[in-house]
Amino acid sequence: MKPTHIEHIGIAVTNLEESIAYYENVMGLECYAIEEVADQKVRTAFFRVGDTKIELLESTDPEGPIGKYIEKKGPGIHHLAFAVDRVEDSLKHAEKEGIKLIDQVPRRGAEGLTIGFLHPKSTYGVLTEFCGNE
């Protein structure tokens, strides 16, 4: 497995609209989608920067993963997503290498993409996501 690029950088924010205004007005980027991912208890906003996206994550529930993250660590960079051809193969490969998985099997993420997370305890503190079309 070899990632083709950084698919996106996930950033935990406390106020989606304020953060969108920053990326639009200061960075000159355009928010092209806002999407709620109910099972992750987040609202997301997306910007393209070349082949990479910025994914803003606002919690819709303090008990959700982003709500808990912000309570513990505050807003900021939350995870790094690598674009891969097949998420399932990449998860299996990582597991074989002794990496602890958060997702044993791929699941559906924002934008209809297939995703799977590795545990930050196994990845030198970086919550790592594989992201692909299958």
Q: Is 40 within 8 Å of 65 (Cβ atoms)?
A: yes
Nearer to Zn ion, 39 or 98 (CB): 39
Give residues in contact with Zn ion (CB under 5 A).
10, 81, 129
Q: Is 84 within 8 Å of 1 (Cβ atoms)?
A: yes
Q: Cβ of 87: how many Cβ atoms within 10 Å?
A: 26
Q: State which residue has the least CB distance to Zn ion.
A: 10
Shortest Å distance, C-beta 113 to Zn ion: 9
Nearer to Zn ion, 10 or 64 (CB): 10
Shortest Å distance, C-beta 121 to Zn ion: 18
According to DSSP, the β-strands at 52-59 and 5-13 are: parallel
The Cα–Cα gap between 56 and 12 comes to 6
Shortest Å distance, C-beta 80 to Zn ion: 8
Nearer to Zn ion, 10 or 65 (CB): 10
